[in-house]
A and B are shown apart, each in its own frame.
Chain A
Amino acid sequence: MKIALALCAAAVLLSGLVPEAPVAARENRPLKCRIGAARRAQAPVGAALVANVPRAMTPVSLDAVQMNDRVWKKVIVEGLFARRTPTDTLEVMARLVNCTKAPLAVSVRSSFLDAGQAPTEPTSVWRIVHIAPLSMATYQERSMATTNVAHYLIELRSDQ
């Protein structure tokens, strides 16, 4: 009987049908990341930058965060926000999580593009964002151009 129950439990776990515990139940617990789940996630459907030769480059999703290989095993994007300011410039924000147990300094910059994916302005300078161990930090940038900004791309890198 016990074996049957255990098998049932295992089958349910493998099928991914385990109901997620309410978010509120997870407070007061140490932060843990599942980097593998983030890495296996499907690319978002939408606009992307592609090479002029098909398959010559990994498509870079727009309205998203692009990471380099030094960061993507350490940082998770918890939230990504974009909104218009009162002067119609675009303000983008990314809440980043440091999944390591060491302080992390990452460089972040933003590009703003029009509907045809042409740049509307020079790419912003690399800004250093310091993230404490197993903590969050928010990166924020604003465009200079106004209504012609249709897409953005946030690049994240680290030399550590």
Chain B
Amino acid sequence: MRGSIIIAALAATALAVPTDTASAQRKGTQAMELDPTGRGAISGVGLESRDIDMLADQVVRELMSRPDIVGGTTPPRIVVDSEKFYNDSSQRIDRDMLTGALRASFSRAAAGRIRFVSRESMDIVMRERELKRTGVADTGTRGMTQGVSGVDYQMIGKMSSLDSRDLKSGMVQRRTQIVFELVDLETGDLPWTSQPYVILRAAGEGVLYR
């Protein structure tokens, strides 16, 4: 009787070990849910996920307090795209992700105080206008206009960086700076320049951004 109990216990242990190992392995490889505005599981010296949200939030809150931009009775028309956003930094980044996040935050915050115009989609706009005017398509439900919307301001920006490396320790330091500006498309004036978004980070081990 005693012997059978010991054998049963040993068998149970033998069965339990692979299960635990598999569980541990699964825990180690499973994807994690992370806060996109937090530090994340991998962080380096460059622009990170949280910086994109911080930057968009900072720019939008700053602009929404400008009476010369959003204080008028007629909402100004603004283009926010990556056409004039230059990345001169040493980091590779999808510029559309930055300007897309900015436009999304901006559009939600504006709540009618700003009108956003697309110049990226001019080809499909012109195609539809042509179809309507040749009678292939009807006028739609919103009516027709003489021309497409003229733009008052365009958002432009530049991302640049300053890199340094300690040859002895291999430690890397990078200053990344992003500045946005609004260009008056009639006069060429710059009525607003954002507070520079600056990060300075140093790390001993590199992270590959791609």
* A interface residues with partner B (beta carbon < 8 Å): 85-87, 89, 91, 121, 124-127, 141-145
* Closest Cβ neighbor of B55 among chain A residues: A125
Using Cβ atoms and an 8 Å threshold, which residues of chain A touch B111? 145
Task: Give complex CA distance A87, B60 in Å.
Answer: 13
* B61 interface contact, C-beta 8 A: yes
Q: List 27 A-B contacts (CB under 8 A).
A: A85-B65, A85-B67, A86-B65, A86-B71, A87-B67, A87-B70, A89-B61, A89-B65, A91-B65, A124-B57, A124-B61, A125-B37, A125-B54, A125-B57, A126-B38, A126-B54, A127-B54, A127-B58, A142-B61, A142-B62, A142-B64, A143-B61, A144-B60, A144-B61, A144-B64, A144-B109, A145-B111
Question: Chain B: interface residue count, which band?
Answer: 10 to 19
Chain B proximity of A38: nearest CB distance (Å): 28
The answer, yes or no, to whether B50 is at the interface (CB within 8 Å) is yes
User: Shortest distance in angstroms between B153's beta carbon and chain A's nearest beta carbon?
Assistant: 16
Q: Is B53 an interface residue (CB 8 A)?
A: yes
Number of A-B contacts (CB under 8 A): 41
Question: Shortest beta-carbon distance, A77 to chain B, in Å?
Answer: 21
Give Cα A70 to B54, complex, Å: 23
CB atoms of A87 and B37 under 8 A apart: no
Contact A121:B109 (CB < 8 A) given known A86-B71, A87-B70, A87-B71: yes
The 4 closest A-B pairs by CB, nearest first: A144-B109, A86-B67, A85-B65, A142-B61
